[in-house]
Structures are given as C-alpha cells and as structure tokens.
Amino acid sequence: MTKTKIAPSLLAADFGNLQRDVEMVESSAADWHHIDVMDGVFVPNISYGMPVIKAIQKYATKPLDVHLMIIDPDRYIDSFAELGAASLTVHYEACTHLHRTVQAIKAKGMKAGVALNPHTNISLLEDIINDIDIVLIMSVNPGFGGQSFIENTYQKIKSLRELIKRKKASALIEIDGGVTTKNAKQLTDAGADILVAGSFVFKSDNPTQTISDLKKAADY
Ligand code: DX5
Ligand code: ZN
C-alpha cells in the first residue's frame, strides 16, 4: 500500500521551462507541488514570489505546498490563500506569535505547517502540536537545494512521532532537504509522512521515473 506523499520541490525546476516541469509533476506519481519562498533575510538566498507562483498555479491541479522561509510571514497569509495554496508552512524561528500565525493560516482555509531548522528542538512544539496540520523538519539548513542530508534528522522524526502520539495529535511529518531513494525508506520507517525532493528529482535523467522510484522506496 502506498501511503507516503512525495512533494517535488520546484526550486530545482528549470524556470525557463516552468510549464513543462509543472506538467511533469502533474502527470507523475507525485502528490503535492512543494514551493519554496525565500526572502534573502531569514535565509541567505532569494527564490521567487507571487508572479511565479501564479504561473505555477495556472498549470497545477495537485495541491500547492508552500514553504515560507521569510520573516514576518503574517503579512502574506492572505496573498498565499488567494494564490490557492493548500498548505502554508512558516518557520518556528521566524514567528514571535506562532499560535496567532497558525490560527490566521487556518482561518483562510489552508493547512497550517510549522518548519523547524536543524538546530531547533522538537520539544518546542509541545504547546502547538495539537493546533497544526504539518511539521516540516528541515534535514538541511534552509536556503539552498542540493545540500547533503543531516543524519540527526532520523532522531528528530522519532521524537516528533512520540510527541504526536503522546499528545494524541494528528500532524503530518514532512522532511525537506537531501532526500533521495537511499534515505527514503529510513525516513518513513522513522515516521515521515511526506518527502520533499528537489535536485534528486529535477537533476535526474528521468524525473517522472525518479518520482515513482522515490515513492516505491519510501513505501517498500
Ligand atoms: C531548502 C528548501 C528545499 C529544497 C530541497 O531550503 O526548503 O525544499 O528545494 O532541495 P534538495 O531536495 O535538493 O535538498
Ligand atoms: Zn522547502
């Protein structure tokens, strides 16, 4: 039975052929489009913003999973809702009033996600876990695709699984950064529900096949 969701990260797509790459994801075994928004302040890189997401949305029917690596994300919640985001993930480290931000995202009808940087401890989610739909564990430092996977991630997934169980919460666990067919199974065994993969998919010779391979490896 296949259960793990695969979310190709369009950060690694060919922006000169964005329509082609979005359509490739659409016709593949992928479940969500993962969309990385970077502001050059929270992370040392700038990716893309509203006009590009609008172009993606034009060719997408699968859910848009938007990952905000920006400071003060509250300012843009309405805009991302209008762009049709199915889930909106903000960084724990970027939100002073995380509970308020999460409520505002849900009030707009989107799934609310919280992302944790590699150094941020799972225990900090104790008082918010029942309010959120997704926890995104960064398995690289946010800002760039193509980095190597941080091994401590497995331990974090297990701690988060325990927390979710203990609190009787239902948040999904999403892993982002350095995901390949080599670590997919170990990630799902540890408790991951969603795997994001950028360069492993888009830099491969046959991205459609690679997405299927990832799904197979994850649920093996
Ligand atoms: C990194 C982004 C990721 C990135 C993953 O800050 O959040 O979504 O695109 O890329 P890979 O899979 O190449 O590590
Ligand atoms: Zn991401």
Q: What is the pLDDT along the chain (220 residues), one digit of tens a residue?
A: 569 999 999 999 999 999 999 999 999 999 999 999 999 999 999 999 999 999 999 999 999 999 999 999 999 999 999 999 999 999 999 999 999 999 999 999 999 999 999 999 999 999 999 999 999 999 999 999 999 999 999 999 999 999 999 999 999 999 999 999 999 999 999 999 999 999 999 999 999 999 999 999 999 9
ipTM value greater than 0.85? yes
Q: Tell how far CA 154 is from the center of its chain.
A: 17
CATH number, domain with residue 10: 3.20.20.70
Active-site hit among 21, 31, 36, 39: 36
Q: Nearest residue CA, atom 4 of ligand 1?
A: 145
Total domain count, the chain? 1
Q: Is 14 a known active-site residue?
A: no
Residue 138, exposed/middle/buried by CB under 10 A (0-12, 13-18, 19+)? Answer: buried
Residue 197 Cα: closest atom of ligand 1: 12
| Three-state secondary-structure class, residue 54 | helix
Q: Is 36 a known active-site residue?
A: yes
Active-site hit among 39, 65, 176, 193: 176
Domain span at residue 188 reads 5-218
CA–CA distance, 68 with 74 (Å, rounded to integer)? 11
